[in-house]
Structure 1
């Protein structure tokens, strides 16, 4: 009788209180559901997506051209930040001219950051793309010829893996 009861309980409810009978999720659905439950991952993904969108639409978002110099506005602080300091004018008119201030040449820092993110985004995609192209060509040659050629090419890769990549990059930049 105890065996029957255990079987009935196992059929009714699975791990986590979910019924065992019904539709099963694929691995992708399960992974996506778990990802959406993780608040930190969702917040990080949202921030990354916003940064990518800001970089892509930089000409539409930027208030001023990134290279525009207004020498009368050199080292200008953002007006919203002026009210924080005790020696600042307490009632500064809010303006959108320089949301993050200006540098020593009078250039808008917000526009420069947005346009700078485009360069970072380009490097982030081009670097792995070049690695992928080199790896596919190298692997194709190794796989096509096989045998001794494959063995020699693999030893070359092993030698490259033996060196720390950061040290190798620093040495390359020195010359």
Structure 2
């Protein structure tokens, strides 16, 4: 216990914690991100209503305005949509879905990029040329276009897919469109690290290349990868929202923030502005908060700025 307390005190006195406390904007972004995460993953317990419970929905409550506007009801603080679902509850559940898709997409992109980057940087030669030329080709296309293409191919190949498989297709499409940045960063770091003494010593000891990459190289190249992952989380959430808004992302039976914005867009000019405004505001603030945390982490872990 004492050793744990010593490590905790050392962490709290570190430069990383000091830089975090010093930046008020970062603290605000962290608090907002925490609120969104708690509200999203605690939705089954914190949400006023369950938007997936069809027995509790009533079309008589459809298109109710926010509670502070005439005709509103405090049972639905932010109003209801065209099906009578509580906007606040759908936002909480939708944010959870957007975060899950974003985190899974980033994790998939990170795994693919790290693996290919390590192989490319460690072995070099023809393998390096092939992997990097594939990466160069993908960089010529916008990430959202690659995601649209991959998502369309998967759904066309598996017609009549279930909602879970459709969500997996979105995760795979977004993850496959973001791996290049990880691969190029890891490759550059591996090219530097592979010539150092500890790698040479591991080779002399007879360790295999996969073991050297996993046990020795990986731990020394993770800092820039974590920074990229934090920033790409915001990009993945936007990509999912874009796909869902275009109608090729998450199915409407499992509404994410993008699906909620698309649904509300049909009623925007008829006066029911709250259906699209509140989900759009949550999406914007969430992405901005995650981006600010990513920018702070990049600066805090950059040795040149210390």
In structure 2, the partner of 1:78 is 66
Deviation for aligned residue 1:127: 0.9
CA RMSD of superposed structures (Å): 2.8
Deviation for aligned residue 1:119: 0.7
Partner of residue 165 from structure 1, selected from 143, 166, 179 = 143
Question: 1:34 and 2:34 equivalent?
Answer: no
Partner of residue 78 from structure 2, selected from 100, 117, 123 = 100
Deviation for aligned residue 1:96: 4.2
- The within-5 A match list for 1:88-127 is 96-127=74-105
Distance 1:143 1:37, change over 3 A: closer
Structure with higher helix content = 2
Tell me the distance in 1 between the aligned counterparts of 2:43 and 2:134: 43
Compare 140-149 and 51-60 and name the one that shifted more: 140-149
What does the per-residue CA deviation read over 1:86-128, in whole Å, with 9 as the maximum and x for residues that have no partner? xx6xxx9xx6411111122211111111100111110110111
In structure 1, the partner of 2:201 is none
Partner of residue 138 from structure 1, selected from 103, 111, 116 = 116
Secondary structure of the 2:108 match is helix
Deviation for aligned residue 1:29: 2.0
Partner of residue 52 from structure 1, selected from 34, 37, 45 = 37
Question: 1:66 and 2:34 equivalent?
Answer: no
Question: 1:128 and 2:116 equivalent?
Answer: no
Tell me the distance in 1 between the aligned counterparts of 2:87 and 2:111: 36
User: Which ranges of structure 2 fall in alignment gaps of 5 or more residues?
Assistant: 1-9, 154-306
Deviation for aligned residue 1:141: 4.1
Deviation for aligned residue 1:143: 5.1
Tell me the distance in 2 between the aligned counterparts of 1:45 and 1:38: 11
The structure with more radius of gyration: 1
User: Which ranges of structure 1 fall in alignment gaps of 5 or more residues?
Assistant: 1-24, 83-87
TM-score after normalising by structure 2:
0.40
Tell me the distance in 2 between the aligned counterparts of 1:166 and 1:105: 30
Distance 1:169 1:40, change over 3 A: same
What does the per-residue CA deviation read over 1:20-62, in whole Å, with 9 as the maximum and x for residues that have no partner? xxxxx99x82232122122221111100111001111000011
